[in-house]
Structure 1
Amino acid sequence: MTAAGRILVVDDDAAIRTVVGEALRRKGYEVATVASLSDLRTALAKGLPDVLVTDVVLPDGDGLDLVPQILAEHPALPIIVLSARNTLSTAVRATEAGAFDYLPKPFDLDVLAQAVAGGLARARRGSEAATEDVDDSLPLIGRSPAMQGVYRVIARVVSNDLTVLVSGESGTGKELVARAIHDLGPRRGAPFVALNMAAIPRELIEAELFGHERGAFTGAASRVAGKFEQAAGGTLFLDEIGDMPMDAQTRLLRVLQSGEFTTVGGSRTIRADVRIVAATNKDLAAQVAGGGFREDLFYRLNVVPIALPALRERRQDIALLARHFLDRAAEDGLPHKRIDEGAIALLEAHGWPGNVRELENLMRRLAALSRDEWIGAQDIQAMLKVAAVDGMAAGTPGLKAAVLARLTEIEGERAGALDDGTLYDRIIAEVERPLIVAMLERHGGNQLRAARAMGINRNTLRKRLDDLAIDMPEGRRPGRDVDGE
């Protein structure tokens, strides 16, 4: 029987080599495995595989550094990069270096098999992978699974001009995504221009977008270029696009369709040479259904959707973000502060209605106002207005303070919220959800191991996943997950 394809796997972890090798062999592939860059070079000298799967961190160097060299000689070779360094930088480096795909560890074996199959299909079509250097100065921070999906989409769109629609709650960093797309793409040397629709009087939005001629309206004393002209050759970021009035939506749609516009009061046609990245904290699909947003414009903008997670959905990033914001505050001249684990526990338990922006503001206040070099739990409690509880048992103040903080938030939602008879079920569900998510992440998505660790059976866990609407990636089944560096 002829093998479906020859796969070369490079990873210094023997367990990963074994598991990945066996999984791909069961799919009908011929698999060879090596543990280092030097072994990889030796293997390539003996014969070219159909797909190369490589880790980044190897004993004798960085696997990504070798990708452009390999592709220079073998441009049609699909290369799939695996990495436990789950940052936007790694995802973009992998894509810009010419990798066919990037999978963060822990990864699902079925997802890897799909990537291998896609690589083989691409190789058979004879496509060539492009290589390009990348600026490693990146604005987004976080290694959570939620952010990995964001990084992968960004990495795949930076090199083209597809329109991107970024959605997410206020404070999640939508403009940072737009800037990353601009700064990493071919338009990086041209202007990045932002316009917040919610901050402009409705009657002036068209003039802000397209510019106006002298005398076009009362107060128009001279010709003024609009954002489309100011962003020529670069990126136009349209924030809070859901607040755009209907008449302006019609004009914007016309520009997106024709690539041309005229100024308010003008007649000369101007070419719109910009990339559009739009953002919203509203449900645009619901607005379309309700008649508040044009359906055709929605589809024009939603070519590449990027959904940014709320901070409460990526709590494992909070410590990284907090320390980053303290470092940045020090760079801005504020006293340099460090934060202890008790404080981190309280930050991770907080609800963060203001998302990353709220966390950044809190860190700057603490840098400015905290007397000590170290920021502790008591500083966080004071800033978040959480009353200290007398007689707290040692080792549990973070959890108790978190419950008190959540009660304060619920009480502020509406009158009588703490007395409506639903409080117990609500708090238990809110505590249970992050516990289950954390244990699944700890065990690489393996439900059987996570259930055993929590002392419940797998069927109970599955029921709670359904009851709490916790999404699990397809293919996540016990015994099918791989972890490692």
Structure 2
Amino acid sequence: MAATGTVLVVDDDPAICVVVGEALRRQGHKVKIAGSIRERTALMESFSPDILITDVMLPDGDGLDGVAEIIERKPDLNVIILSAQNTLNTAIRATEKGAFEYLPKPFDLNELTRAVADALGHRSGGADASEQGLPHDGLPLVGRSPAMQEVYRTIARVLSNDLSILVLGESGTGKELVAEAIHSLGQRRTRPFVAINMAAIPRELIEAELFGYEKGAFTGAQARTAGKFEQAQGGTLFLDEIGDMPMEAQTRLLRVLQSGEVTTVGGSKPVRVDVRIIAATNKDLPRLIEDNRFRQDLYYRLNVVPVSLPPLRERREDVILLARHFLDRAAQDGLPRKALAEDAAQLLMAYHWPGNVRELQNIMQRLAVLSRENVIAADMLRHALPLDAVPADHAAPAGQLAQAVREWTKRQLGVGLGQANPQLHDNLLAVIEPILLQETLASVDGNQIRAAGLLGINRNTLRKKLTDYGLDPLQLRLSD
């Protein structure tokens, strides 16, 4: 049986508190929320948690202040520190204060729930989460990139209501996983989650599948059959690939959404239904509306809260995290546990992933089955990728950079000279970071929003770095 405990989550961002709190409650933990040091102090006395998760930047001070004293008073308490100040100094301070774990923001929710499980196991002297059989999923989503953090925030905002949601993204980005997350963390989680893919059903059968049919309604209809709306009663209905729905079915769907009643094919008596609608598509619905292939009024009904999932090529910082997640999943399913060699990780990062997360998942599952070694190297991975995926010598530039950094670091450390150069970390960033900023901005013609996305940082952070290094974005455009 997986260990559960009491957790106090301290963060001034309500969206983070909602998502983290719900994910931990799903795993059986008792959770309380605080938004400041003052609230944290009050709850620590009345709640007596096993785990304290606290942000560093809080409205009334530094979240690290007082942590050492808290641990001294409660030796069995394990503390997990979260911080958007992703600096070495913050990590060192967290360690010095006695924190069990330090996770920089943006963090992956599954990584946080694993840290809680590990902390409980450490506290009780028990086995780790995997040995206890604790599910590793706080959400059925993985990612710490800024784009995925925004998805988490949107999910948090819709958990306490029944607004219709439209999930947008390329094929393979995980649109159904977002729908499952909203359902499993929301107020309808004890009721059914029913999915239907419009692109996978013959046009003439879509209405029967959605709304059900009466005996004798058409050839082969031997008994009354409930449709997806009735099957999802009280829960969530996920309409995947809504852009492929025929116009005549769109008209009937709109009527159901307006009235809250379903009439079966061949029937005359309406049935009242109560479902939450989440739709998804990889198509440009406004363009379909212009071409008279999608109803504008239905679009407005569905697109109350949009959720945009980025393609994997735009969240490359999540690639290795996802790859390891899928290998862990394969191990949980009984396959030998596999790890990624450094050259394989570089190859994964170099590939453009046209099939997005689904393609990465399939490749990791294939390698988990076929690889005879416990460590997956680039040569094995290259056989699993398309022939023209990446050049054979893709790792050479990365290897050359790593060697150059290694030699520079040795020189700065004063190896053999008896004295090290101070401020090593800042000095290295001052050499590398301006080049990274300059080349990235030049590649997008000086567009700071696009550059920030490629770099995995927000625009304000990019602007500050440009100012710090004295770089003018207007001079970083590609020449005409």
TM-score (norm 1): 0.62
**Cα distance, 1:448–1:159 mapped onto 2, change above 3 Å:** closer
Counterpart of 1:26? Answer: none
The residue number in structure 2 matching 1:156 is 157
In structure 2, do the counterparts of structure 1 residues 219 and 372 end up closer, same or farther at CA, with 3 Å as the change threshold?
same
SS in 1 for 2:194: strand
Match among 425, 449, 470 for residue 465 of structure 2: 449
Distance 1:155 1:311 in 2: 22
SS in 2 for 1:395: helix
Give the match for residue 268 of structure 1: 269
**What amino acid sits opposite 2:245 in the alignment?**
M
Paired residue for 1:481? none
How far the C-alpha of 1:176 sits from its partner, in A, is 0.3
Q: Deviations over 1:163-193 (max 9, x none)?
A: 0000100000000000001001111111100
Q: Please give the alpha-carbon distance, in whole angstroms, between the structure 2 residues aligned to 1:365 and 1:432.
A: 40
In structure 2, distance between residues paired with 1:208 and 1:39: 54
Give SS of 1:224's match: coil
Q: Is the partner of 2:300 in helix, strand or coil?
A: helix
- The yes-or-no answer on 1:146 pairing with 2:167 is no
Contact 2:166 2:306 in 1 (8 A): yes
Residues 36-56 of structure 1: per-residue CA shift (max 9 Å, x gap): 9549989xxxxxxxx956887
1:372 is displaced (CA, Å) by 1.2
Mark the runs of 5 or more structure 2 residues left unpaired by the alignment.
Answer: 1-9, 12-35, 46-57, 71-78, 83-102, 114-135, 403-441
CA deviation vs aligned residue, 1:251-307 (integer Å, no higher than 9, x gap): 000001011111000111101111100000001111011100000000000011101
2:475 pairs, out of 452, 460, 464, with 460
For 1:57-456, list aligned pairs within 5 A: 59=67, 60=70, 61=79, 84=105, 86-88=107-109, 137-384=138-385, 385=387, 386=390, 388-389=392-393, 395-396=399-400, 429=443, 437=453, 439=455, 441=457, 445-447=461-463, 449-450=465-466
Alpha-carbon displacement from aligned partner over 1:296-355 (angstroms, at most 9, x marks no partner)? 000000011101111011100111101000000111122210012221121112110100
Distance 1:278 1:55 in 2: 42
Contact 1:194 1:238 in 2 (8 A): yes
Q: Deviation per CA, 1:61-105, whole angstroms, max 9, x where unpaired?
A: 4699xxxxxxxxxxxxxxxxx97253357999xxxxxxxxxxxxx
Change (3 A) 1:335 1:147: same
RMSD between aligned alpha carbons?
A: 3.9
Distance 1:165 1:286, change over 3 A: same
CA displacement at 1:447 relative to structure 2: 3.1
Please name the residue that 1:471 is paired with.
none
Structure 1 299/89 Cα, relative in aligned 2: closer, same or farther at 3 Å? Answer: farther
Partner AA of 1:357 in structure 2: R
Contact 2:165 2:303 (8 Å CA) reproduced: yes
In structure 2, C-alpha distance between the alignment counterparts of 1:383 and 1:184, rounded to whole Å: 36
What letter is aligned with 2:177? L
The separation in 1 between residues aligned to 2:200 and 2:62, in whole angstroms, is 46
Residue equivalent to 1:129? none
Residues 440 and 446, structure 1, Cα contact 8 Å, conserved in 2: no
- Aligned residue for 1:300, secondary structure, equals helix
Mapped partners of 1:151, 1:243: distance in 2: 27
Q: For the residues of structure 1 that align with 2:319 and 2:394, how far apart are their CA atoms?
A: 27
Deviation per CA, 1:198-224: give whole Å up to 9, x if none: 000000000000000000011111111
Q: Judge conservation of contact 1:37–1:63 (CA < 8 Å) in 2.
A: no
Q: Is the contact made by 2:343 and 2:395 (CA closer than 8 Å) also made in structure 1?
A: no
- Residue of structure 2 in register with 1:418 after alignment: none
Q: Secondary structure at the match of 2:457?
A: helix
Residues 276, 54 of structure 1: alpha-carbon distance in 2 compared, 3 angstrom cutoff: farther
Maintained 8 Å contact 2:327/2:338: yes
2:346–2:395 Cα contact (<8 Å) kept: no
The superposition leaves residues 403-445 of structure 1 with CA deviations (integer Å, 9 ceiling, x where unpaired) of xxxxxxxxxxxxxxxxxxxxxxxxx948999987555739972
User: How many residues get paired?
Assistant: 338
Mark the CA change 1:173 to 1:392 in structure 2 (over 3 Å): closer, same or farther. Answer: closer
Helix, strand or coil at the partner of 2:348: helix
Q: Against the structure 1 CA distance between its residues 429 and 438, is the aligned structure 2 distance closer, same or farther, given a 3 Å change threshold? A: closer
Partner amino acid for 1:86? F
Paired with 1:158 and 1:190, the residues of 2 have a C-alpha distance of: 14
Amino acid paired to 1:184: L
Q: Is the 8 A contact 1:195 1:239 kept in 2?
A: yes
* Inter-CA distance 345–260: structure 2 relative to 1 (3 Å threshold): same
Query: The residue matched to 1:247 in structure 2 has which SS?
Result: helix
Distance 1:212 1:183 in 2: 29
How far apart are 1:388 and its partner, in Å?
3.1
Aligned amino acid, residue 395 of structure 1: G
* Paired residues of 1:210 and 1:263 also in contact (CA < 8 A): yes
Kindly provide the amino acid, as one letter, of the partner of residue 182 in structure 2: I
In structure 1, give the amino acid aligned to 2:341. Answer: D
Contact (CA 8 Å) 1:166, 1:277: kept in 2 or not? yes
How far does residue 395 in structure 1 lie from its aligned partner after superposition?
1.2
Q: Structure 2 vs 1, CA of residues 212 and 332 (structure 1 numbering), >3 Å: closer, same or farther?
A: same
% same residue:
57
Unmatched runs of 5 consecutive residues or more in structure 1: 1-9, 12-32, 43-50, 65-81, 93-134, 399-427, 469-485
Query: Contact conserved, 1:210 with 1:228, CA < 8 A, in 2?
Result: yes
Q: In 1, distance between residues paired with 2:185 and 2:354? A: 30
Separation in structure 1 between the aligned mates of residue 295 and residue 397 of structure 2, nearest angstrom: 57
In 2, the alpha carbon distance for the partners of 1:188 and 1:391 equals: 46
SS of match in other structure, 1:171: coil
Counterpart of 1:446 in 2: which secondary structure? helix
C-alpha distance in 2 between matches for 1:57 and 1:292: 56
Contact 2:239 2:280 survives alignment (8 Å): yes
